[in-house]
Amino acid sequence: MSLSSPTSHPAEVTIQTGALSLKGFLEVPPKAQGLVLFAHGSGSGRNSTRNQLVAETLRQCGIGTLLFDLLTEEEEQSDARTGHLRFDISFLASRLGLATRWARKNPKLARLPIGYFGASTGAGAALVAAAEEGTGVAAVVSRGGRPDLAGQSLILVRAPTLLIVGGDDTDVVALNKAAFARLASIKRLEIIDGAGHLFEEPGALEIVANLAGAWFQEHLERRGAS
- pLDDT at residue 7, as a whole number: 43
Evaluate if residue 87 carries a pLDDT over 50.
yes
- Please choose, from the candidates 16, 52, 55, 7, the residue with its C-alpha nearest in 3D space to the C-alpha of residue 32: 55
Report residue 65's pLDDT band, with 50, 70 and 90 as the boundaries: very high
> pTM (2 decimals)?
0.92
- pLDDT at residue 4, as a whole number: 40
Determine the Cα–Cα distance for residues 198 and 172; give it in Å rounded to an integer: 11
CATH number of 11-225: 3.40.50.1820
- So where are the chain's domains? 11-225
Report residue 8's pLDDT band, with 50, 70 and 90 as the boundaries: low
- pLDDT at residue 19, as a whole number: 86
